[in-house]
């Protein structure tokens, strides 16, 4: 079947209406009527082929929330009427070490991303959540806590888990000092989540217009990085730095702000390499850690944590006609702090 949605036809054309193919639901599939879909910066990288693997037409979107409207005969975890979510991937090999450990996000046998991959047949492209419906294997469908506003919960499916997972992995705990670099979709979720773990959070941003929000989001400090020498007073201060910047940038300045044995966690995914000055690492045994979304079990844990703490994303709701404008505004860092599309309007 084809459902209504939006696609990019080439790397430099605006997104426009397109009939999105969905498979007929199989035994273990859940058919979801999509209500909301967040706009992640990865959608923009992908639609514009900045990572050099996009095939067209390309349908982005991996922060999906909707209602179950049909389940296959073998589905046990979800029922018609449930409010559910779908994040960055829709299938994995389920037999590699990572899959067996519940870390499907690091699947070595063929992770199937929500967009930019192929269905199980190996030739039908996967299409993302800028559409009215999606069909997904029940294992990759998450339960959304009833206490959360569904539109504001959509960004948890990528921005939420992508920041929650590495903070858990490094064991961020009460009283530790963390700096979040880049206050966008991921960055503002990182501030909220790190604060909910009891950490002391500093925001490093080049946008003075965001200064007033840092404290409200849970940070104790805000440093405007545009100012010459702004990082100097922060030398050796932080246990962790979470870098969410979407474009090429200098990471050596932030590295110098880490304590001995501190870790810079990289989640931003700029297309070009980020040069590292060796002595920024050697002198104080600092390290750089990369992280890519999170497994299904941990994503559910994150959603439940957010449900318990009342954590959602700060969002600006848009209709499909506004997607291209939202892309431009995101590129100009003019978003507070996630655009979420009303998918009932496609
Ligand atoms: P976003 O909302 O656009 O936020 C990125 C922020 O980075 C901007 O708001 C801005 O913050 C800062 N920034 C942008 N360009 C900059 C530049 N040239 N120099 C310095 N700072 C700059 O993007 P997002 O959705 O949070 O995504 C951020 C990155 O993470 C993207 O590359 C995305 O693809 C990637 N990502 C990775 C994963 C993963 O699994 N690892 C998952 C999702 C997204 P200020 O205005 O505060 O400076
Ligand atoms: Zn994303
Ligand atoms: Zn696997």
Give the least confident one: 119-123, 169-173, 274-278, 289-293.
Answer: 119-123
Burial 309-333 (b: 16+ CB within 10 A, else e): eebbbbbeebebebbbebbebbeeb
How far away, in angstroms, is 118 Cα from ligand 1 center? 26
Name the average pLDDT for the chain: 97
Q: How confident is the model at residue 121 (pLDDT cuts 50, 70, 90)?
A: confident
Residues near ligand 1 (Cβ within 6 A): 40-42, 45, 158, 162, 182-187, 205-207, 210, 244-247, 249, 267-270, 291-293, 330, 333, 335
Q: How confident is the model at residue 120 (pLDDT cuts 50, 70, 90)?
A: confident
Provide the 10 A C-beta neighbour count for residue 9: 14
Q: Domains, the chain, ranges and CATH?
A: 2-158+314-345 (3.90.180.10), 160-290 (3.40.50.720)
142 preceded by a cis bond (ω within 30 of 0): no
- Dist CA 324 CA 315 (whole Å): 17
How far away, in angstroms, is 86 Cα from ligand 3 center? 18
Burial of 159 (0-12, 13-18, 19+ CB in 10 A): buried
Phi and psi, residue 263, nearest 5°: -125, 130
| Nearest alpha carbon, ligand 1 atom 11 | 182
| Nearest alpha carbon, ligand 1 atom 10 | 182
How far away, in angstroms, is 76 Cα from ligand 1 center? 37
pLDDT of residue 316: 98
> Dihedral, CA atoms, 278, 280, 282, 283, nearest 10 degrees?
140
pLDDT for 139-191, tens place per residue? 999 999 999 999 999 999 999 999 999 999 999 999 999 999 999 999 999 99
Ligand nearest to the CA of 92: 3
Q: Is residue 252 predicted with pLDDT exceeding 90? A: yes
Q: How confident is the model at residue 38 (pLDDT cuts 50, 70, 90)?
A: very high
pLDDT for 196-211, tens place per residue? 999 999 999 999 999 9
The atom of ligand 1 lying closest to the CA of 225 is: 48
- List the beta bridge partners of residue 66: 34, 84
- Dist CA 325 CA 344 (whole Å): 19
Q: Is residue 227 predicted with pLDDT exceeding 90? A: no
How far away, in angstroms, is 187 Cα from ligand 1 center? 7
Q: Tell me the percentage of the chain whose pLDDT exceeds 70.
A: 100
Find the mean pLDDT for residues 71-91.
98
- Ligand 1 pocket test, candidate residues 268, 334, 338, most atoms within 8 A of CB: 268
pTM recorded for the entire structure: 0.98
pLDDT for 46-75, tens place per residue? 999 999 999 999 999 999 999 999 999 999
How far away, in angstroms, is 111 Cα from ligand 2 center? 15
How far away, in angstroms, is 122 Cα from ligand 3 center? 16
Q: Is residue 236 predicted with pLDDT exceeding 90? A: yes
């Amino acid at each position: 079947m084809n459902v209504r949605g939006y696609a990019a036809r080439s790397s430099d054309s605006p997104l426009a209406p397109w009939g999105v193919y969905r498979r007929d639901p199989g035994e273990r599939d859940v058919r979801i009527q999509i209500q909301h879909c967040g706009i992640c910066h990865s959608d923009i990288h992908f639609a514009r082929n900045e990572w050099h693997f996009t095939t067209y037409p390309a349908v982005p979107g991996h922060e999906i929330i909707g209602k179950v409207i049909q389940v296959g005969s073998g589905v046990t975890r979800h029922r018609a009427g449930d409010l559910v979510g779908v994040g960055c991937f829709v299938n994995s090999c389920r037999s590699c070490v990572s899959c067996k450990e519940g870390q499907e996000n690091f699947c070595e046998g063929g992770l199937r991303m929500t967009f930019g991959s192929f269905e199980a047949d190996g030739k039908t492209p996967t299409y993302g959540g800028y559409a009215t419906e999606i069909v997904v294997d029940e294992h990759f469908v998450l339960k959304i806590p009833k206490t959360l506003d569904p539109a504001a919960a959509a960004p948890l499916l990528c921005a939420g888990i992508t920041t929650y997972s590495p903070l858990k992995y490094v064991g961020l705990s009460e009283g530790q000092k963390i700096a979040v670099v880049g206050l966008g979709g991921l960055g503002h979720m990182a501030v909220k989540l790190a604060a909910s773990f009891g950490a002391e959070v500093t925001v490093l941003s080049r946008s003075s217009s965001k200064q007033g929000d840092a404290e409200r989001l849970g940070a104790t400090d805000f440093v405007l990085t545009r100012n010459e020498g702004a990082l100097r007073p922060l030398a050796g201060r932080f246990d962790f730095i979470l870098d969410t910047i979407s474009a090429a940038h200098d990471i050596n300045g932030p590295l110098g702000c880490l304590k001995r044995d501190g870790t810079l966690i990289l989640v931003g995914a700029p297309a070009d390499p980020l040069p590292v000055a060796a002595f920024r690492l050697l002198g104080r045994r600092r390290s750089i850690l990369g992280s890519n979304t999170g497994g299904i079990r941990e994503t559910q844990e994150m959603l439940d944590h957010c449900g318990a703490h009342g954590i959602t994303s700060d969002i600006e709701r848009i209709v499909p006609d506004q997607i291209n404008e939202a892309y431009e505004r995101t590129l100009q860092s003019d978003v507070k702090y996630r655009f979420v599309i009303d998918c009932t309007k496609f």
